[in-house]
Amino acid sequence: MFSAFLAAGHIKRARSIYTKAMVMWLIVAAAVTILGLACLDPLVAGLGGAGELQQGVTDYVKWVLVLAVSYMGECFYASMLRNDNAPRLAMAGTLLSCSLNIFLDVFFIYVLEWKMAGAAHATSLAVTSTVILGLLASLRPQSNLKICRQGGRIQDIVSIIKVGMSNFLTEIDGGIVTFAYNTVLIQIGGANATALIAV
């Protein structure tokens, strides 16, 4: 929608879509963080965090939930930068995140010996770097990723949800399959079975 309005020369409408999408991202991220932390124990159990794996999985999931805004923000800015005629910046954000994740994994897990909490910190900081890059990119004079206070249109929000629904269903499908798979594995072989499959 953003790129379609840009191509048609409707800059204010495009910026309005960006603003609405950003607000929706922040609201959904806050909801995921609050609900996830409130249901942390069943969530960890569903992901296979039982027995000796429980503490490691809890450490990882907790930090992913706390920084859900960054995980979602990485996807948000990767998409918005491409639509704002800045595909190189979008690619740079992906490369920055991947490279930083590899370096920080080694540093946090092996040097500082933070185990699963270190892995969570590494990934969380890596995706946060992409969000920071996206925010800085939006400050460029030629960028159309600007906050616009144009009157809200409910139909715009509905359209944003429709456009993003296929990607959302793809992502949520992977999560549901993981929950079901881990539940069956725990029933069959306990925590060791989920660890063995993960390796």
Backbone angles phi, psi at 142, to 5 degrees: -85, -5
pLDDT digits (tens, 9 = 90+) for 123-138: 999 999 999 999 999 9
Cβ-based burial of 67 (10 A; exposed 0-12, middle 13-18, buried ≥19): buried
Task: Provide the pLDDT for residue 26.
Answer: 95
> What is this structure's pTM?
0.80
What is the distance between the alpha carbons of residues 169 and 101, in angstroms, rounded to a whole number?
26
pLDDT of residue 162: 85
Q: In the structure encoding, which two tokens stand for residue 168, read together?
A: 């959302």
**Tokens, residue 56:** 């490691």
Beta strands in the chain (DSSP E): none
Residue 183 is predicted with a pLDDT of 72
pLDDT tens digits, one per residue of 18-43: 988 899 999 999 999 999 999 998 88
The interaxial angle of helices 115-137 and 54-66, nearest 10 deg, is 10
Q: How many CB atoms sit inside 10 A of residue 78's CB?
A: 20
The string of pLDDT tens digits covering residues 68-118 is 999 999 989 998 999 998 999 999 999 999 999 999 999 999 999 888 888
The rounded percent of the chain whose pLDDT value lies above 70 is: 90
